[in-house]
């Protein structure tokens, strides 16, 4: 059995490199990316879909759900890290990198709080996968996936490093049982030229 770990589709604020308010939806290209991924996964034999309930992730998950005839189970545990008062600000104008900062921005989460939530999200993911009894698609956000890749529980093959940039609607495939070995990383094989990600877009936030 497999875990299919998916970053949400593109948003207008990914492209303009702005830290995103919670309600940010997919862009037109993000919707096309989600549809392309849904078409690829239609024959993947998915048993269940678990998603962040933020619009950009939920809209991506709903496209997959329509193609596969499955419901979407949502959880706030899969949210992107909360950047509080920094949301809505252009990333490149800040005097520090909030994506890697340990401290909490005003009204937001510290890195330690975020790591704890990512661990809780993984525990829920494992529970949902066991209940589904088959492949589970998990739609979440760039920094959540990066946390799982850098600190575990996802295990990369020898010689493979976590990517600096996780693409919109990228697919990472891993074993559903420990040690959760990754067999496909940050794949965008489903995207063509018209739906390919802008390489300058913000991967997280």
Active-site amino acid positions: 8, 80
Among 55, 56, 57, 43, smallest CA distance to 5 is for 57
How many alpha carbons fall within 13 Å on the CB side of residue 52? 30
Buried b (16+ CB within 10 A) or exposed e, 113-130: ebeebbeebbeebbebbe
Q: Which residue has the tokens 């704890």?
A: 116
Structure tokens at 187: 């794949």
């Amino acid at each position: 059995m497999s875990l299919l770990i998916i970053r949400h589709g593109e948003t207008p604020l990914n492209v303009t490199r702005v830290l995103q308010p919670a309600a940010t939806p997919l862009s037109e290209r993000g919707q096309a990316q989600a549809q392309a991924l849904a078409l690829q996964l239609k024959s993947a034999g998915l048993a269940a879909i678990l998603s962040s309930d933020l619009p950009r992730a939920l809209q991506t998950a709903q496209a997959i759900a329509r193609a596969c005839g499955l419901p979407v189970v949502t959880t706030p545990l899969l949210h992107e890290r909360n950047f509080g008062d920094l949301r809505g600000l252009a990333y490149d104008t800040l005097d520090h990198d909030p994506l890697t900062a340990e401290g909490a921005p005003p009204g937001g989460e510290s890195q330690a709080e975020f790591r704890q939530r990512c661990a809780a999200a993984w525990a829920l993911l494992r529970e949902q996968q066991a209940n589904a009894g088959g492949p589970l698609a998990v739609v979440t956000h760039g920094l959540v996936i990066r946390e799982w890749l850098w600190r575990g529980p996802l295990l990369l093959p020898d010689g493979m490093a976590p990517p600096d940039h996780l693409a919109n609607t990228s697919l990472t495939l891993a074993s559903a049982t420990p040690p959760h070995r990754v067999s496909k990383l940050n794949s965008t094989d489903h995207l063509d030229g018209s739906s390919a990600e802008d390489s300058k877009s913000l991967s997280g936030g």
